Amino acid sequence: MLTATLSNIGRVRQVNEDQCWVGALGGGIAIAMVADGMGGHQAGDVASQTAVDTFRGAFEQHADKASLSAAEGKMLIRQAIAEANETIYAMASRNERYHNMGTTVVAVLMLPGTAVIGHVGDSRAYRIGGNGMEQLTMDHSLVNELVKSGQLSAEEAVHHPRRNVLTRAIGTDPEVEIDVQSIEWYPEDVLLLCSDGLTNMVSEGQIAEVVADPSQELEAKADHLIQLALEGGGDDNITVVLLQEQRTGEARGASA
């Protein structure tokens, strides 16, 4: 699996509260996640890092697995995210400094021909391939609820002053509803995981154009997306993870 991961603090924030991780199980099964933390006094940074550490620890227990079914993958993703929620909520309950901290999570498990995706919050997963660009996750946000109910148009939602208000997050409640799905996966597809620091600054058309460009390596595409978000204002931390199946004859990529 070819991978590229990049994160940037942006032009406004003092701390990068985004975290990301890419790893692998046996048999070349790739795992990746992005977490976008929230909370004062650097608590968002603590929440997102804890989510990554807990999620990673949960999967390292299965590092020797050479194969997984989609059903097993869904169960593991759900369990790992739920464990991260419990850990962060417990930390916030014990320490006033971390009161109400939380984080988004979007994670993927890449199986042969199938991608299993779990998410909570408004960090997103996209598939870019022969059929164009498809958003795979639905934001757990106030404006998305307003769009679904017909009270806002998709265009109005992009600039709504409360577009960053989440209806679900990891760590803010003892339990959380986790959306998990599996999709078909083709060798020509590229999977993008990202925080809203990218999608709030760069249009989907621009993202699709960069990721579909055959002249750029995966690392260059990730850097190009970061630069576009910075040029768009860089109002938030920006994190990008790209994954693509290695084709025969290609040089093997690595996490940046």
Quote the pLDDT of residue 65.
77
CA–CA distance, 33 with 12 (Å, rounded to integer):
24
CA–CA distance, 225 with 234 (Å, rounded to integer):
11
Quote the pLDDT of residue 247.
67
Q: Which residues have a Cβ under 8 Å from the Cβ of 137 and sit 6 or more positions away?
A: 106, 117, 119, 123, 124, 125, 179
Q: Which residues pair with residue 6 across a beta bridge? A: 240
Q: pLDDT digits over 5-34, tens only?
A: 999 999 999 999 999 999 998 888 999 999
Q: pLDDT digits over 213-228, tens only?
A: 999 999 999 999 999 9
Query: Which of 48-52, 159-163, 182-186, 191-195 shows the lowest mean pLDDT across its residues?
Result: 159-163
Strand duo 114-120 + 105-111: pairing? antiparallel
Q: Which residues of 215-247 are buried (b: 16+ CB within 10 A; e: fewer)?
A: eeebbebbbbbbebbbebebbbbbbbbbbbbee
pLDDT classification of 150: cutoffs 50, 70, 90? confident
Higher pLDDT, 212 or 158: 212
Query: Does pLDDT of 41 surpass 80?
Result: no
| CATH number 3.50.50.60 given to 2-129+168-244 | no
- What are the strands, taking DSSP E only, across 130-256? 132-135, 179-184, 190-194, 238-244
Quote the pLDDT of residue 249.
46
Domain ranges of the chain: 2-129+168-244
In the chain, the amino acid numbered 173 is D
CA–CA distance, 207 with 216 (Å, rounded to integer):
13
Record the pTM.
Answer: 0.92
Higher pLDDT, 188 or 240: 240
pLDDT classification of 39: cutoffs 50, 70, 90? confident
Render 55-79 in DSSP notation, one character per residue: HHHHHHTTTT-----HHHHHHHHHH
Q: Which residues pair with residue 127 across a beta bridge? A: 134, 191
Radius of gyration of the chain (CA): 17
Quote the pLDDT of residue 147.
80
